[in-house]
Amino acid sequence: MPSTVVHAGFALLLAAGLLGRYYDRRALAALFVVVVLPEVDSFLGPLMSGAHRTVGHTLAFPALAAGLLYYDTRIRDRSLVRSRLGGPERAGRWIAVAWVALFVHAFAHVGLDWTHLDGVNVVWPLRDQFVRLDGEIVFSTAEGFAQTFVEIRTDPETGRRAVDAGATGTTETVHVNNPVEPRDPDEITEEPVDRRFPVANAGWRLYLIGLGLFTLAARRLQGDV
């Protein structure tokens, strides 16, 4: 995984941009929990093959949560969430934080993991398929616009179209190393176990951490928390 620190750094920048007047320590603490929580699926690894990057990193559950939240707070006459949260000010605040949490989870956590190693099992349990987001978008004088994130190939003989969005495997075949299971359980080796807790494995990940810290410091300098 790009480390949780990297997720948290980018999440801070996004959160500062979206929380508006709800930006304060309590909201940031809640978002921090949302950033860390998906990694708990590492601990399911010994029980379920390929659990890491599947259970906590699917976008199916967040989409369901977003749908329910929207239905409850915007469509129903009497919102269960609102009545549970107390006064309108308090309810408005935590509903806003919940939306930011969903956004931060999708972009700062799942989004970044999607681009890394074998990617994420993005719509599990609807479909068991890890995908990795990898490619580039360029405009060149020779070839015009070209993108390689999603490749669409047409079989010249059968005329069937195949869409490849970076499929890497299923929970049976994919194992993404993490501190709980530092190597693929199917692999048999004599080497001592090396659990690695990365902070930043590349310059750009350090950059994302720096972005978050800079935002935090700048907001404090501006006198907002």
As measured in angstroms, the least distance from the Cβ of 160 to another protein is 27
168 binds another protein (CB under 8 A): no
Number of amino acids touching another protein (CB under 8 A) = 51
Spacing of C-alpha 141 from chain mean position: 35
Q: Catalogue the E-assigned strands of 36-119.
A: none
Q: Which of 39, 116, 118, 152 binds another protein (CB under 8 A)?
A: 116
At a CB cut-off of 8 Å and minimum separation 6, what does 114 contact? 120, 122, 131, 132, 133
The one segment of 43-51, 82-90, 154-162, 217-225 that binds another protein by CB under 8 A? 217-225
Q: Are 102 and 65 in contact (CB under 8 A)?
A: yes
187 binds another protein (CB under 8 A): no
Q: Which residue has the tokens 């931060």?
A: 104
At a CB cut-off of 8 Å and minimum separation 6, what does 60 contact? 123, 124, 125, 126
Site for another protein in 119-158 (CB under 8 A): 132-142, 149
Binding site for another protein (CB under 8 A): 10, 13-14, 16-18, 20, 103, 107-108, 111-112, 114-116, 132-142, 149, 192-204, 206-208, 210-211, 214-215, 218-219, 222, 224
